[in-house]
Structure 1
Amino acid sequence: MPKDQSGLSAIDRTILRIMQSDANARLDHIAEQAGASVATIQRRLRHLREAGVIEGGVIVVNPKTAGQGMTFLILVELERERIDILDKFRRKISGEPQIQQCYYITGDADFALIALANDMDEYQNLIQRLFFDDTNVKRFRTSVVMERTKVSLSVPV
Structure 2
Amino acid sequence: MKLDRFDRQLLNLVQEDAGRTSEDLAQRVALSPSAVQRRLRKLKEAGVITRHTAVLEPRKVGRPTFFIVSLEIERDRPELLTQLRAWLAAQEHVQQAFYVTGEADFVLVVTAPDTETYDALMARLATENPNVRKFTTNVALGVVKRGLTIPVPLEEMD
Q: TM-score, normalised by structure 1?
A: 0.93
1:26: Cα distance to partner?
1.1
1:113 equivalenced with 2:108 (yes/no): yes
Residue 140 of structure 1 aligns to a residue whose secondary structure is strand
1:16 equivalenced with 2:8 (yes/no): no
Aligned residues: percent identity?
A: 36
Distance 1:128 1:103 in 2: 20
Residue 54 of structure 2 aligns to a residue whose secondary structure is coil
Q: Determine the structure 2 residue equivalent to 1:136.
A: 131
Distance 1:152 1:7 in 2: 25
| Shift >2 Å, 4+ stretches | none
Residue 98 of structure 2 aligns to a residue whose secondary structure is strand
Q: Identify which of 2, 9, 14 aligns with 1:7.
A: 2
Unaligned runs of 5+ in 1: 1-5
Distance 1:32 1:120 in 2: 47
Q: How do 1:48-67 residues align onto structure 2 when only pairs under 5 Å count?
A: 48-67=43-62
Q: Identify which of 22, 34, 37 aligns with 1:42.
A: 37
1:103 equivalenced with 2:98 (yes/no): yes
Q: Which letter does structure 1 place at the counterpart of 2:129?
A: D
Higher relative contact order (CA 8 A, sep 6+): 2
Q: Which letter does structure 2 place at the counterpart of 1:90?
A: R
RMSD between aligned residues: 1.2
Distance 2:4 2:116 in 1: 50
| Deviations 1:85-113 (CA, angstroms, capped at 9, x unpaired) | 00000000000000000000001011000
Residue 106 of structure 1 aligns to a residue whose secondary structure is coil
Q: Determine the structure 1 residue equivalent to 2:146.
A: 151
| Deviations 1:108-134 (CA, angstroms, capped at 9, x unpaired) | 011000001111111111110112443
Q: Determine the structure 2 residue equivalent to 1:94.
A: 89
Q: Which letter does structure 2 place at the counterpart of 1:74?
A: V
Query: How many residues of Structure 1 are paired with residues of Structure 2 in the alignment?
Result: 152
Residue 91 of structure 2 aligns to a residue whose secondary structure is coil
Distance 1:20 1:115 in 2: 22
Q: TM-score, normalised by structure 2?
A: 0.92
Residue 102 of structure 1 aligns to a residue whose secondary structure is strand
Residue 44 of structure 1 aligns to a residue whose secondary structure is helix
Q: Which letter does structure 2 place at the counterpart of 1:25?
A: R
